[in-house]
Structures are given as structure tokens and as C-alpha cells.
Amino acid sequence: MTPETAPSALPGRRPPLARELAFGLSLFALYAVAAAVPIGDRHAAAADHGRQIHDLERTLHIAAERPLNDWLAGHRTLAVAANYEYATVYVVSTLWVLAWLYRRHPDRYRVARTAFALINVIGAVCFALWPVAPPRLAPDLGFVDTVLAHGTWGSWGSPVVDHADRLAAMPSLHVAWALWVSVELARLPVRRSLQAASLLHVFLTLYVIVATANHYVLDAAGAVVVVWFAYVVTDRDPGRRSRPVVPPEDAFFLAVESDRTPQHVGGLIFLDTPDGTPSREDVIATLRGRLDELPRLGQRLSPASRVRRRRWVEHPLIDWDWHVREAVLAESGDAGLNALVGALQSETLPRDRPMWRMVLVRGYAPDRAAVVFLMHHVVADGMGVITHVLRLLTPPDALPVAGAGPSATRRALGTLVGIAQLATESRQRTRLPSSGTGERAFGTFRLPMPVVRDLARKHRVRVTDVVLCALAGGLRRVGPAAAGPEGGRALRVAVPLMTGGPEVPPEGNHTSAVMVDLPYGPMPEIERLRALAAATKRLRSGTRALASAFVMQRAARALPPVLHGAFARAVYGGRTFQAIATNLPGTNTPARLAGAPMAVAHPIVPTGPGAPLAVGALGWSGMLNMGISAEATLVADMDALCGAMRDVIEELGAAEAPEPAGPPEAAAARFVRRGRGPSVPG
């Protein structure tokens, strides 16, 4: 057996305890040797170095030691408590974390132990080559030695441990050890209260070492540098750089997710299956053959951390029994299938495995099966899910390109304008009732795409305007009343728009949401559509989308994960919008999935926290396929909402068209272009 395959080197196996104890003793031996290194008059050199540090602090206006020491020395009880804290807590906490890591997290223990050892080695070298006397040993500076003044038993500097190196002030190992403990706890899934207590201990240690005159402020700064360097050197997994970081715009949806608001997007796909194919094994074989092209299907998230961004790591053993399963409907038809989709939407995807799931559904109709494909929003947005599906088809298909986008100069100017627009955005005041439960209802309906485009062309609007009008009018007819000024006459909806380049990669989120106020009061639907057409001009300017993308993708990178998560929860959901509506491009190319002809595809869009409604529209094979998701308590009958949305579109089709402005030929050409719409949500 080679050293690489020895039991102690295998992942999850603890190294021998005797070896670890011997390693720890060697560190203390190194510390003793460093203290004994002869460097001329060591005490004189240490005192001189201490004065140099103190002079530098005074130059930098950070010499806080003397006032803190004077105050503490005048309060005997607090001074004695600080002396004992200085002498014991950092040792106890460090040994406890080492033992806990060794027992519960052996893989992490190896890195942590090595980083801790390097911290102490660097400290010992510094003590040997550049000794520094603490402030309490510099009589000319006027500090009070709180240990000697109050007779603290067993503390550093007292007769019990008089052999300890008194000239080891720079760097402060007290701060270094406390910081090491805090870093390790922050990298593991422990209670936040414990992490907060550890962070508080770092600041308490900083106060104690300075107020007791055992260290200068710059000694603590030196400790921070040493700890940082130790982790840079030791925490370098050879494969870590090949593990992609989860960008903030993707991690955003991890932060806003809860058990009540799962954040997975997907599709409901119908297959023609006259001969009963495909089988579950056929679907698995198709997925296996595409894993190299779709890497997120074989990757999971690294453990959560409050200071380090998550990464995508390989998950070599895929649980196909969980990821691809077969279900038989107890009730055939749309009612049973929609109930199943709603139940799947209500379940969060576990984060200890690749974050996707596929269910092959039997029993919908004699010659038709359904596939429910779900992916977490951290993996991809709606366009990404469509791209994944298109890669699984035979023959493979590609999304239409979105265009080159604006130049760098126009993008920069547009972003500045958009930031100003977002800053002056009025506050949302209308609310839909949200129960806060995780139970979801789902519904679908379809419309011929030529009919919808003709309607949009007729009224000189875009297809997205028609979809938004159907949403507002349909919900107004069968949904609950909105709370707000004047009975809730405007409903704010988040409309995602593509902000990336011409190619749509299957992974990641490449959209940004623009808020649109939908007219929600009682009115004829043609008036609602005309008001909507004016409101959705902000979708076509692009400035708000650019600003939103800048905040999500650029500015958010400056925030540590804990602050980024707080930011995401503050801006996403019911306080900002009440519904989500997206219009997605698809394909008209006939294709097969696992050998079965693909007939229909409906989008599945997640709701937001406190925003109980989400509507997706997908153009596929000449049809506009709608998928509506809602909190189960928002709409008593999802079929009624789907029917009401269809009625709105029929009413719009029957309404008279406005008089064209300008020559008829020019107007027709202009609105044919609008009706066709862009290849991104338009």
C-alpha cells in the first residue's frame, strides 16, 4: 500500500492521534527553541522594537493602548477577569476546535491543523529574529502591568508561568489563534450563534491584549496578516481552481429560497408515446450521454460559508433513482398532472447533490406521457433550462441568437441612466394576499402563436404586452382583490430580460428583472392593453435592465456572502413586486426526447417570497404555451384563472384596432417587426 492510499490519507479517515499529539508537542518545542535563540542583547533589542512600533502607531494616530490600559487598571475586578481571559480562553477554544474537527470533520481537520501549525511556525520565527517587548515591559511608556498590579494567579507574566517567552508580542498569537477558530467555524455548517460568539471573541481578545498592556495594536494587525498568509499557502486544494465559483447573480437565488418559496425553474414536456416508449432507462441513457455537455447535471454545491463563495464541485456518484423517477397519475388528464407539478414545485431541492430532477409521468392519456424537468435557479434561469432541454433533444437544437447588444460606451451610459431611474423608482404599494405556505398550484393553456402575433400587430403592441394584459385582466376577474391605494389599481410585476451576449449558455442566470406596473383596476381590456403598452416602454429602453444587471453581477461581487444574502432577501420579493411574468423563445424544429416525439412544452416559473404568482409564456412549435404557478391559497381555481386569461385575449381580439399613424405600409412593417418580437423576452 502506497502512502497515497494508506488508510490515514483517505478522505474521511482521521490521522493517527499519537502522530497528531507528537506534531503538537513539536510546535511547543519550536516555540521554546525560538525563545532561546541568542541575538545579542535580546531584551534590549525587544525593547527597542517595541518603542519603534509605539512610535509608528503614534504617527498613524492608532496608539489606543494607553487610555484603554489606564481605564482597565482602575477597575480591579474587570482587570482580573481580563487577565484570566488573556491566559485561558484562546487556548481552550483552540484546543476544543482542533478536537472537534478531528472528531467530526476529519477532512477539514487536515487543512485546519496545517494552517494552525504554519501560524505558529511563522510566529516562532518572528519571535526569534525580531523579538518585541510588550508595552507592560517598557517602563518609560507608563503602562500598568495588570497581572503584577492585581496578582492574578497563573496568568502569563505571573511566577507560575515565568518561563514563558515575554518577548513574543509581534505577531499576537492570542489574536491569531482566536481568528483561526473563527475562520474554521465560519467555513462549516454550525449554528450562527456559535459563529457570532467566535467573532465576538476575536474582538474581545483584541481589546484584552491591548488593555492589559500585553500587545500593541499593530501586533494584532500582524496576526491578521499571518493568518491570511497561512490560509493562502495551506488551503489550496489542487483541484479548487478548476471548481467554478457560484457567481453572485446565481447565489442570489440560494439566499432568497426558503422551505416556503422553493426556487427551481423548469418545464412540463409532453411526449407522443403510442408504443409506450420511452422507458425510464431510456431517459437515463439520454441524460448520461449529455453529462459532458451539461456539467451542472453532475455537480453539487460546496458547503455554505459566511466568508467564502460557494463553488461547483464534482459529484461522481449520481443517485439516478432520485434524479430520474417514474410516476403514475391517480387521476388522468390535466387535473392530476397539474396537481403533481404543484406538489413538485412545493418541495425544495436538496443541496447535497446535483440540483435537478426529472419525473417521467404515465397515465395522462393513452398515447401521451409527460416529463417534468426541474432545475434550481442557482443552476440556470428560464433560458438556461430551455437550453438544457434543447441539448437533450434529437436532433439537438439551438436557441436563436439574441443580437450583439450595445457597445461598451452605450452600455456604460445606459447603466448610469438606469441606476438613476432605479434610484427614483416609486415604492410599490399594492399587495396580493400571500399565505406564506409552500404549497403551490399549477395550470396551463395554449394559444396559436400566429393568432397572438396578429392580435399584437393589430393593436400595435408586443406579444409580451398581450401576455401581461391577460395576466392582469384574468387575475382581476377571478383572483382576490389587491390591497393598496384606491383598491390596488396597479400591480407591480417583475419582467426578466436577457442581458448577456448573443449566445445563451446553459448554466447561470443571464437575465435581470425590470418592474412594470400593470393596470389592475376595473376597465375594458382594450384600455388595459393600451395603458400597458405605455408602461412597458421601460422594457424596450434597456437602461433599467443594464443597471439591474450591473448591481446583480458586478456590484454584488464586492459583498461577502453573508451581506450578499441579506441584500438579496431585502430586494427580492413582496416588498418589491407581486408577480413574475416572463416571455421565453423556443423552437419550431420537430424533435425527440429519448426517442419519443416531443409535442408540447410549458414553462414552470417559481414564485418569489411574498410574491405569490408567476407566469411563463413559451413559444414552441407554433404555439404560445402558458404555465401559471401560484400559492395555492391565492386562486381558488387555477383552471378558472387560465380560462379568464384566455377570455381576456379573446376580448382583445374582438376589439377594434386603433387608427394607424402615418402611411399604412410603414405602420404595418413596423408592427410586424414588433409582433415577431426579439429572440429574448420582449
- Could you give the CA distance from residue 350 to residue 264 in angstroms, rounded to a whole number? 11
Residue 622, exposed/middle/buried by CB under 10 A (0-12, 13-18, 19+)? exposed
Query: One-letter amino acid identity for 319?
Result: D
Residue 32 lies in a domain: yes
Q: Which of 231, 237, 246 is nearest to 302 (CA)?
A: 246
Residue 521, exposed/middle/buried by CB under 10 A (0-12, 13-18, 19+)? middle
Burial of 419-437, coded b for 16+ CB within 10 Å and e otherwise, reads: beeeeeeeebebbbebeee
Residue 406 lies in a domain: no
Cell (9 digits) for 404: 450583439
**Which tens digits make up the pLDDT trace of 41-86?**
777 888 888 888 888 988 888 888 889 988 988 888 899 888 888 8
| Edge-to-edge strands, sheet with 356-365 | 324-328, 356-365, 368-376, 264-272, 596-604, 592-593, 393-394
Q: What CATH number did the domain enclosing 492 receive?
A: 3.30.559.30
Residue 410 lies in a domain: no
In terms of domains, do 558 and 506 share one? Answer: yes
Q: Output the pLDDT for position 156.
A: 52
Q: Output the pLDDT for position 410.
A: 81
Cα dihedral angle (556, 558, 559, 561), rounded to 10 degrees?
Answer: 90
Give the total number of structural domains in the chain. 3
Residue 503, exposed/middle/buried by CB under 10 A (0-12, 13-18, 19+)? exposed
pLDDT bracket for residue 7 (50, 70, 90):
very low
Q: Pick the residue with more confidence: 546 or 486?
A: 546
Q: Given a cut of 90, is residue 266 above it in pLDDT?
A: yes
Kindly report the backbone phi and psi dihedral angles of residue 261, in degrees, each rounded to the nearest multiple of 5, phi listed first: -135, 75
How many residues in the chain?
A: 682
pLDDT bracket for residue 681 (50, 70, 90):
very low
Cell (9 digits) for 440: 403551490
In terms of domains, do 87 and 112 share one? Answer: yes
Cell (9 digits) for 669: 412593417
Question: Which distant-in-sequence residues (6+ apart) come within 8 Å of 455 by Cβ?
Answer: 466, 649, 652, 653
Query: One-letter amino acid identity for 418?
Result: G
CB 325 within 8 A of CB 283: no
In terms of domains, do 220 and 287 share one? Answer: no
Q: Which of 109-118, 369-378, 391-400, 530-539 has the lowest mean pLDDT?
A: 391-400
- Could you give the CA distance from residue 497 to residue 266 in angstroms, rounded to a whole number? 17
Q: Output the pLDDT for position 402.
A: 56
In terms of domains, do 380 and 455 share one? Answer: no
* H and E: helices and strands count for the chain: 23, 15
CB 375 within 8 A of CB 388: yes
β-strands 579-584, 511-519 pairing: unpaired
Q: Given a cut of 50, is residue 416 above it in pLDDT?
A: yes
Q: Given a cut of 90, is residue 348 above it in pLDDT?
A: yes
Residue 90 lies in a domain: yes
Task: Spell out the SS3 assignment of 161-193.
Answer: HCCCCCCECCCCHHHHHHHHHHHHHHCCCCCHH
β-strands 579-584, 490-498 pairing: parallel
Q: Which of 290, 296, 283 is nearest to 250 (CA)?
A: 296
Q: Given a cut of 60, is residue 582 above it in pLDDT?
A: yes
- Could you give the CA distance from residue 290 to residue 26 in angstroms, rounded to a whole number? 52
Q: Output the pLDDT for position 3.
A: 36
Query: One-letter amino acid identity for 271?
Result: L
> What's the Cα-to-Cα distance from 84 to each of 162, 215, 595, rounded to whole Å?
16, 16, 73
Q: Which of 526, 607, 562 is nearest to 196 (CA)?
A: 562
**Which tens digits make up the pLDDT trace of 94-150?**
999 999 998 888 878 888 888 898 898 888 888 888 888 888 888 888 888 887 777
Q: Given a cut of 60, is residue 475 above it in pLDDT?
A: yes
Handedness of CA 503, 507, 510, 513 (dihedral sign): positive
Residue 419 lies in a domain: no
Q: Output the pLDDT for position 624.
A: 96
CB 173 within 8 A of CB 134: no
Q: Which of 461, 491, 453, 456 is nearest to 475 (CA)?
A: 491
Cis peptide bond upstream of 171, omega within 30: yes
Q: Which of 322-336, 372-386, 443-457, 504-518 has the lowest mean pLDDT?
A: 504-518
**Looking at 212, 236, 260, which one is the last position of a domain?**
236
Q: Which of 299, 303, 680, 653 is nearest to 500 (CA)?
A: 680
Q: Given a cut of 50, is residue 183 above it in pLDDT?
A: yes
In terms of domains, do 525 and 382 share one? Answer: no
**Looking at 236, 268, 284, which one is the last position of a domain?**
236
Residue 27, exposed/middle/buried by CB under 10 A (0-12, 13-18, 19+)? middle
In terms of domains, do 367 and 503 share one? Answer: no
In terms of domains, do 58 and 94 share one? Answer: yes
Q: Output the pLDDT for position 642.
A: 96
Q: Output the pLDDT for position 9.
A: 40
- Mean of the pLDDT values across residues 512-538? 92
In terms of domains, do 166 and 223 share one? Answer: yes
> What's the Cα-to-Cα distance from 335 to each of 338, 581, 616, 629, rounded to whole Å?
5, 23, 19, 14
- Mean of the pLDDT values across residues 644-658? 92
Q: Output the pLDDT for position 505.
A: 73
- Mean of the pLDDT values across residues 2-10? 37
Percentage of the chain surpassing pLDDT 90? Answer: 43
- For the chain, the straight-line distance linking the first and the last C-alpha, in angstroms and rounded, comes to 63
pLDDT bracket for residue 36 (50, 70, 90):
low
**Looking at 183, 209, 236, which one is the last position of a domain?**
236
Residue 408 lies in a domain: no
- Could you give the CA distance from residue 581 to residue 167 in angstroms, rounded to a whole number? 67
Q: Given a cut of 80, is residue 547 above it in pLDDT?
A: yes
Cell (9 digits) for 266: 423548469
Residue 422 lies in a domain: no
- Mean of the pLDDT values across residues 85-97? 89
Cell (9 digits) for 358: 426529472
Query: One-letter amino acid identity for 188?
Result: L
Predicted TM-score (pTM) of this structure: 0.67
In terms of domains, do 40 and 132 share one? Answer: yes
Q: Which of 83-92, 341-350, 399-408 has the lowest mean pLDDT?
A: 399-408
In terms of domains, do 165 and 137 share one? Answer: yes
In terms of domains, do 262 and 220 share one? Answer: no
β-strands 393-394, 592-593 pairing: antiparallel
Q: Which of 23-27, 601-605, 606-610 has the lowest mean pLDDT?
A: 23-27
Residue ranges making up the domain that contains 302 = 248-394
- The overall average pLDDT reported for the chain is 84
Q: Given a cut of 70, is residue 666 above it in pLDDT?
A: no
- Mean of the pLDDT values across residues 469-485? 87
Residues forming beta bridges with residue 52, ordered by sequence position: none
CB 87 within 8 A of CB 154: yes
Question: Which secondary structure element, helix H or strand E, spans residue 78, and what is its range?
Answer: helix 76-104
Task: Count the neighbouring beta carbons within 10 Å of the beta carbon of residue 238.
Answer: 6
Residue 425 lies in a domain: no
Distance of CA 440 to the CA centre of its chain: 23
Q: Output the pLDDT for position 562.
A: 84
- Could you give the CA distance from residue 169 to residue 569 in angstroms, rounded to a whole number? 43
- Could you give the CA distance from residue 590 to residue 587 in angstroms, rounded to a whole number? 8
In terms of domains, do 631 and 544 share one? Answer: yes
Q: What CATH number did the domain enclosing 340 receive?
A: 3.30.559.10
- Mean of the pLDDT values across residues 599-623? 94
